[in-house]
Structure 1
Amino acid sequence: MSSSAIDYAAVFHALPGGVLLLTPQFVIVDANEAVFQRAGRERHELIGRGLFDVFPENPDTSDASGERNLRESLERVLATGSRDTMGLQRYDVEAPGRPGVFEERYWSPVNAPVLGPDGQVQLIVHRVEEVTEIVRAGARNHGGDRERMEAELYSRAKELQEVNDRLRRSHAREREVVLALQDAMLPAPRLMGHRAAVRYRPAVGALNVCGDWYDLAELPGDRMAVAVGDVVGHGLDAACVMGQLRSALSAATRVTRGPAQALEVLGIYARSVDGAESTTAVQAIVDWTTHTLAYSSAGHPPPALLHPDGRVELLDQATDPPLGARPEHVARPEADVAFADGAVLVLYTDGLIERRHEDIDVGLARLAAALTRHRGADAETLADALLAELLPPHGATDDAALVIIRL
């Protein structure tokens, strides 16, 4: 049978397990027949209503956690854009036509995202298999001690949830340590005479702290070096590698003749640092005396130069592979570009522009359009506007570092 002959709406409603389609605000936009049958609800009672309004927690169940666990799972899907499988849950359902009277139910839920063209979560597929009868059958097979069996299953489900909670708290503590380390190594710029703004936004989710970094340094002769980089990996290891590379590049910048040589030195150093392989970085040196800037990139997204007339130029004429990608030393390319008073230089990491299932050119075009719209803003205002417009509304799944220099 060809795919064009398949009635997917009929398939959806014929699925034996209950399936609800939810908006990112957890509003029910559709449900299949299994949901209506098992919940004892009519279509008009579900569609267009909030999930937790339709299915509230049983207030008479001691230490009930079904609603909290489900909400946390849905929020993880929004934050990560990945499927989240839940353990066995007791989540009682109000008896049809008897408000406030709950029937004991057990469920095995899975939540999965539906991503839009921009890589953001547009819908959540909430699939539930009811296992109430399995629980009751298990109780009957254990000498009819239904209460004991149900209590044991519920206790095991709670133990699993508690283990997950402890893991999340542990990752959250690691995240706090990493963020504190990043804050210490990525201070706000103190550059006299030049207008600069920096931002760092960690990814949403305790496991997604990465190694993005930036660096700004004043150089002799009314010049300034600005760089951003992105270490592959997550957590404390990536943050420590980030600190080493940032310090090494800052030192190399002061003893080399330009950004290409500085990145060459950094690439040689990266070969001796575990975890530094495939790091991307870009550096630009701004010279206010000659109104030129020189730049070089090691596999990093191109800086953007916003001209006073609103035109955006992507600085992509001196791009080479990431650090440590070549076994032999090869001189890195360097390019120069002129700028006028009032221009804006923007460096960033890929978390600002990249989205799942989207070509990077789409993200670059989005960045250019936002820069043109806000070309009259000061550096701080522009930085806030870019984050507000370019990062996903429910939080990014990758870190984002941003440096803005008004030239």
Structure 2
Amino acid sequence: MKNTGKKLKNSLCFLLIFLMALTGCDSDTEIKPNAKEIADISPAAGFLAAQVEKTRGFIAGPIENGQKVSDYAYVYDNAVALMALAEAGADWHVQRLADAFVFAQEHDRLFRDGRLRNAYTGGNPKSDSGRSITGGKVTIRLPGFWEKGRWQEDYYMVSTSTGNMAWVMLALCKAAERAMPEKKEEYIQAAMRAADFVLTLKDKKGGFTGGYEGWDETQIKARHKSTEHNIDLISAFRCLAKAVAEKNAGKAEEYRAAAEHAKEFVLSMYDPKLHCFYAGTEADGITLSKGVYPLDTNSLAILALEEMKEKEEIIAFAEENMMVGGGFDFSAGDLDGIWNEGTAQMALCYHQLEKNEKYEAVLRYLKTQLSPDGSIPAADRDGVSTGFTVSGAEVLWEYHNTQSIGATAWYALAKMKANPLR
């Protein structure tokens, strides 16, 4: 009887330890620095930190009147948030987001090739609300909703975008820089798995294709190529090559070559007469997509490519064709509002080029967008057009005057003068 009780006690202890490990339970140690302390460095970074302290994982948004409107946590937003938090010295928060990325990569319900989906359910993916059991295995829960008695998932959310993968690579490399040795290796390995997946998207005609679209077994390869995605990949592959060079020279060389492959494509998208970058190519991988001239293909190129000589001309193109009041629209065209994320990117471009007066002017505008909680909205008004449609739907892609994790993270980076692409 005594032995049975001892065995039962040991089993219960083991189960408790297992559950704590699985759910990522935090110890009772005080979080240092905490969100309030981080807010002294940057109100926007303080907001992001406060959200991670609440969720213990992915940040979903937006929040209106203190209530969460959406449970969708976008991978891109969370990756940029991680990088902003790292710049603010928020190592506890950085680890929670990095751990969420690793868990998502390792516990997809179908894929085991290093990819991540475009969005997940907000919160700690290791918790009961963040995971589910599929085929007897623990898997991360994907966002969706019930409609007419059926579970529905969004086409874009369950897809995999190449650009988002690049930002996850960057975020994991940044997390590794600030992590203890064991965690550092874990994050680098996850970044390498993501990178090796992206390598399968390499196009012989130049650059990397857009990823995969659709639901699980019926996913199709996106054949178009995005200039923005490939800009992100230049920085991501360079960063990872540097991180693994000492231990794995062969992989480092492979990643450097991948960065050059992406760079060659990006430079081929530059129009020396207009002094701007095209959005990319159509599905044939050759035909230029000339309908829309996005701001971020130009702002991100300036931030990523230190060696590029045409920065002044690109800035002039953006100012002439996309400036609206104190900020910038998403693209050249109707100039129907200010896109705050891209405007924060332009602030960093001005800082990079030592245009201090313009940098300060853009920051003054962005400060007008600041909410009491430290966040900013995606746009200064509703209905700011992009010129594109939403992936998988014939719906216009627009930005609205609602809280944005991505825009808030970029504002934090701009305020701290931190370029995430170098």
Same fold (TM > 0.5): no
Bigger strand fraction: 1
TM-score by length of 1: 0.25
TM-score by length of 2: 0.25
